[in-house]
Structure 1
Amino acid sequence: MENAQILTELYEVIKQNTPDQYARIIRERASYSFLYHLSEIRQNLIGWLPIDATKRVLECNPECGALTGKLLSMAKEVVCLITDDRQEQILSARFATDSRDGRLIFTREIPTETQSFDVILIAGSFYRWQNQLTDLRNLLCRDGYLYLADANRIGLKYLAGCQEEYVGGYFTGINGYSNIDCVENSGRSYTRSEYQRLLTQAGFDDLKWYYPYPDHKFPSVIYSDDWLPAAGELAEGRSNYDRDRVACFDERVMADTLLAEGVYGTFANSFLIVAGQEG
């Protein structure tokens, strides 16, 4: 979550404005925090998922509600795992009607009832939940799914000169966070094989991989192993919005090389993983 001052400003903006005014506010503020928490582009990550009005959803990382509203428009009920009073205040103001109607529920602990959710969403900050994956799996109905979206620590944009997703710095994740103290508390991302290992160890044995582009935070398109980018298609090349970057090589040319070599899925900037249980 953001610092207290930013959260207070966001709360006042949300309380005093309607969603159709957020785009104007983003332009006027010219602040990454307002872009990140208020942009409709964020919803592209989940808007296509098969979540309908029969589904009960647990959102593990709701932050200030960038994806919560979309979930509420799709699902029967959304339970948000929150961290503090300020977060509950912001979400309650942003989705007042759903909160009053009981469709939006807040909790500060992982629920205990087993097989009670059809969908669990972790969008970003997976490191906070990696040790609780088995508990989360037990909450899923047998035909339910965990949707996990986060950065790839060896993603192309980080190889090309974008700073690391959570702790910052050039090539921090590429170098395995070797020069960062207590990185598990500060934040980190993982490689494809690392995500796969953590999920399979927790009992998720049905994994499907998707590739939000340019990343999971502001996706304009979502690729899959069945629908990969065409040559020349990955021409975005945007930098980290909240940090400076360098350009070590032509990212677009390298993207075409990775596609030609059949290894794009290993070096995609971000993943959206659909994790289920077989049987």
Structure 2
Amino acid sequence: MIRFTCQGQAVTLAPGEHFSRPRELGFRDTPATELLELVAELERGTPWRDAVARRFAGAKPWLHAIVASSTRTAFIGPVLPSETTGPVLDIGAGWGQLARPLAATRRVLALEPVAERLAFIRAAARQDGVDGNLSYLEADYFEVEFAPQFAAICAIGVLEWVGAFQAAVDPQARQVDFLRKVRRELAPGGMLVLGIENRLGLKYLLGCPDDHIGVPDIAQLPARLAAMRWQQATQGTLRSFTYSLDELRRLLLQAGFERVEFFAAFPDYKLPRQIISLADGGAALHAWLLAHPIPPEHNGYDGSPLPAAFQQTLAARYHELATQGVARHFAPSFFVRAT
């Protein structure tokens, strides 16, 4: 059973059960009407992979890969130990890319504030035969309070967005509050697993658009300067922030975590083809960069390939940074395990 309170209401969720605290705001990559049509297809018996491929493989190949690629869970094992027991909370469960595979072997709570996404997760989970290990929570993470009970909490592509739909709060303060809340709700010995872009990722420093705001040369700046440049360019408030390796480590320690382990993800955490521990000053990463071709990187905003000349420049720069022993600071993305 998963137990929590939501606005004073005590809730217990058994496997397969759903609790809803509806809200309109949330990250969407597909119109609600289209996603609900897709859910209806699944409920009529169309295999979810076939339905997703028919709609997106040709028209939106990046979205199709994000939803259907098996590499989405490549961090299970290297970062999130496969033998982990106890319930797992998947915050911002999206299309269920993590929750459903995890539920094959353990209890999982899929927390997703967008109703139609959660409906897709449930329909696909039934087809995958894992609905009996999943519970579903439609709410903002800040609206619920858990007792310490999770062996692992996964926030893959979440930390950078937690202040994005909250106009009345400071987005970076909310990120710290998020990490502190996660720390409180882990069981003793439990771990947080993050997937997030590196603010100082080499491709961003060389002019690749940011994955969240879709333009270059702003999000890779220090936070205060980035916010000022975004305000000058858009008259709006920058609400999505990523961090360097050292900045993210400090944030996690500030939130109460005692041990923070980093892993480089190439070409990114979304579709990782190589995950390398950054222990020992990044020695394994530096050795790999000097001995292997680097997987082609892409524009993380829309998944489009980067030009061949840009890829050549990346490879040459990575080689130089590895030779100097500092490449860990410039990896495109991180997985982080914090305890």
Which bin holds the TM-score, normalised by the shorter protein?
A: 0.7 to 0.9
For 2:258 and 2:248, the matched residues in 1 are separated by 12
Q: Paired residue for 1:11, among 30, 36, 39? A: 39
Given that 1:120 and 1:140 are in contact with CA atoms closer than 8 Å, whether structure 2 keeps it comes out as yes
Q: What's the RMSD between the two structures over aligned residues?
A: 2.6
What's the offset of the Cα at 1:84? 3.0
Q: Does residue 29 of structure 2 align to residue 2 of structure 1? A: yes
Amino acid at match of 1:192: L
- Structure 1 residues 251 and 90: CA distance shift in structure 2, 3 A: same
- Residue in 2 aligned with 1:189? 242
Q: CA deviation at 1:171?
A: 1.8
List aligned pairs for 1:151-162, cutoff 5 A: 151-162=197-208
| AA aligned opposite 1:124 | G
Counterpart code for 2:253? T
Deviation at 1:9? 5.5
Residue in structure 2 matching 1:167, options 210, 213, 222: 213
Note if 1:85 corresponds to 2:115. yes
Secondary structure of the residue aligned to 1:45 is coil
TM-score normalised according to structure 2 size: 0.72
Alignment length (residue pairs): 272
CA contact (8 A) 1:6 1:33 kept: no
Q: Distance in 2 between matches of 1:105 and 1:243?
A: 29
Residues 167 and 103 of structure 1, relative CA distance in 2, 3 Å threshold: same
Whether 1:61 aligns to 2:98 is: no
Amino acid aligned to 2:107 = E
TM-score by length of 1: 0.86
Write out per-residue CA displacement over residues 166-196 of structure 1, whole angstroms, 9 at most, x where no aligned residue. 0011122223424223222xx2321112211
Name the structure 2 match of 1:72.
103
Q: Distance in 1 between matches of 2:275 and 2:70?
A: 16
Alignment of 1:91-102 (within 5 A): 91-96=121-126, 97-99=129-131, 101=132
Q: Which amino acid aligns with 2:85?
A: T
Instruction: Tell me which moved more, 225-234 or 17-26.
Output: 17-26
Distance 2:312 2:219 in 1: 18
Give how far 1:200 is off. Answer: 0.9
Say if 2:72 and 2:271, in contact at 8 Å, map to a contact too.
Answer: yes
Unaligned runs of at least 5 residues, structure 2: 1-27, 163-173, 231-235
| Partner residue in 2 for 1:208 | 261
Cα distance, 1:221 vs structure 2: 1.3
| 2:135 counterpart residue number | 104
Alignment counterpart, residue 141 of structure 1, candidates 171, 187, 195:
187
Residues 109, 238 of structure 1: CA spacing in aligned structure 2 closer, same or farther, 3 A cutoff?
Answer: closer
With over 3 angstroms needed to count, the CA separation of the structure-2 counterparts of 1:252 and 1:115, relative to structure 1, is same
The structure 1 segments of at least 4 consecutive aligned residues displaced by more than 6 Å after TM superposition are none
User: Once the 2 structures are TM-superposed, how far is the Cα of residue 23 of structure 1 from its aligned partner?
Assistant: 8.4
The 3-state SS of whatever aligns with 1:198 is helix
Distance in 1 of aligned mates of 2:186 and 2:195: 18
8 Å CA contact retained: 2:113, 2:139: yes
**Quick check: 1:153–1:190 contact (8 Å CA) kept in 2?**
yes
Mapped contact 1:98–1:104 kept (Cα < 8 A): no
Who wins on radius of gyration, i.e. which is larger?
A: 2
- Structure 1: gaps spanning 5 or more residues: none
Inter-partner Cα distance in structure 2 for 1:70 and 1:192: 28
Indicate conservation of the 8 Å contact 1:45/1:212, yes or no: no
The whole-number CA distance in structure 2 between the counterparts of 1:169 and 1:93 is: 35
Cα offset, 1:234, TM superposition: 4.4
Task: Please say if residues 173 and 188 of structure 1, whose CA atoms lie closer than 8 Å, have aligned partners that are also in contact.
Answer: yes
Q: Deviations over 1:14-42 (max 9, x none)?
A: 55533564785454444322221222221
2:325 to 225, 246, 262: 262
